[in-house]
């Protein structure tokens, strides 16, 4: 099993510490960390990606703590930990160029770990709660225009093999035509893809949240075209989308394909695979879709997450307001 950045997912204490044989931990803390990581998926239902991110954050914190204390940390060290030390850790990460968003996630991981230690009656130390999370700059999605999104999914591939062009088109249409995350699109199998009369996809998204997503005929047709052309055997329970050698398609290859298309079509740097998901939501909102419906299609746990698209589409919302409100004509 591998993490998203290509490193093995930690299965032991040494792995948690980036494979550093010179950085062992006291056995009590080692067992606690391994128990917490197992708990994240087994009981909390966290996705593998979240677990891997928290794992890396914990590894970095324990590495910092070893250097800070001058000896391998143990549970007793965590019990005595103060807020100043945690702030020093975040400051060291900031100095290394880590973004506010990543720092906030690191702090979230530590809070989760310490809360779990308290619930398990292993130790109680709430110093981490005294540390304020870094402010994350407010940003809104940067969707493509309707024309730009259309150009991406209709591009002829610029000389690439026909089946690869068909594959990339099918993936991009799943992002723009169904609003899937790239990880969700690449997790489809021939048994779950919207083909052979199926027009609904059962998607398991972030945090194990499940949702039903309808597939437009153009999306189903694109997937069927890819399957007809694909030179590799596609078993029902195996990944639908394959790389050139037949292995599961890497998200990085879709990102690279987007980079190439950006240059060829003159699209902005913000035209990424995830921008197609943003475009899906924004264009639906522009066409009059209900925000709750978009929330369900995107798989957002909270409507507040979906409401960010209203900022993208403020002009349209004001126009609807002008047309619908009885007093609007007097503004």
Active site (catalytic) residues? 181, 206, 274, 277, 300, 309
Task: Give the start-end residues of each E strand in the chain.
Answer: 200-204, 210-214
Torsion of the alpha carbons at 164, 167, 172 and 175, rounded to the nearest 10 = -150
Residue 139: count other Cβ atoms within 10 Å of its Cβ: 9
d(CA 284, CA 321): 17
**How many residues does this entry show for the chain?**
331
Task: Give the start-end residues of each E strand in 56-178.
Answer: none
Contacts of 6 (CB under 8 A, 6+ apart): none
Q: Evaluate whether 141 touches 312 at the Cβ level (below 8 Å).
A: yes
- DSSP 8-state secondary structure symbol assigned to residue 307: T
Q: Evaluate whether 274 touches 282 at the Cβ level (below 8 Å).
A: no
Residue 10: count other Cβ atoms within 10 Å of its Cβ: 23
d(CA 50, CA 4): 10
Q: Which two tokens stand for residue 31?
A: 């067992």
């Amino acid at each position: 099993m591998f993490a998203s950045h290509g490193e093995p997912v930690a299965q032991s204490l040494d792995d948690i510490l980036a494979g550093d044989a010179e950085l062992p931990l006291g056995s009590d803390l080692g067992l606690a960390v391994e128990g917490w990581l197992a708990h994240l998926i087994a009981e909390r239902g966290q996705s593998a990606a979240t677990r891997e991110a928290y794992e890396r954050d914990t590894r970095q914190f324990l590495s910092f703590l070893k250097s800070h204390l001058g000896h391998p940390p143990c549970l007793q060290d965590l019990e005595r930990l103060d807020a100043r030390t945690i702030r020093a850790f975040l400051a060291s990460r900031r100095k290394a160029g880590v973004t506010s968003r990543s720092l906030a996630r690191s702090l979230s991981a530590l809070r989760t770990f310490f809360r779990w230690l308290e619930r398990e009656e292993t130790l109680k130390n709430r110093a981490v709660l005294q540390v304020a999370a870094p402010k994350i700059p407010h940003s809104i999605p940067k969707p493509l225009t309707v024309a730009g999104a259309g150009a991406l999914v209709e591009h002829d591939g610029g000389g690439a093999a026909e089946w690869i062009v068909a594959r990339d088109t099918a993936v991009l249409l799943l992002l723009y035509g169904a609003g899937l995350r790239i990880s969700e699109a690449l997790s489809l199998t021939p048994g779950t893809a919207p083909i052979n009369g199926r027009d609904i996809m059962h998607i398991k998204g972030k945090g194990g949240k499940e949702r039903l997503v309808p597939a437009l005929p153009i999306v189903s047709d694109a997937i069927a075209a890819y399957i007809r052309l694909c030179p590799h055997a596609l078993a029902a329970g195996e990944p639908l989308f394959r790389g050139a050698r037949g292995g599961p398609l890497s998200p990085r290859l879709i990102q690279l394909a987007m980079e190439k298309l950006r240059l060829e079509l003159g699209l902005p740097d913000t035209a990424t695979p995830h921008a197609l998901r943003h475009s899906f939501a924004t264009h639906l909102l522009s066409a009059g879709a209900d925000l709750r419906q978009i929330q369900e299609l995107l798989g957002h746990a909270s409507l507040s997450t979906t409401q960010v698209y209203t900022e993208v589409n403020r002009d349209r919302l004001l126009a609807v307001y002008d047309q619908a409100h009885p007093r609007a004509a007097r503004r």
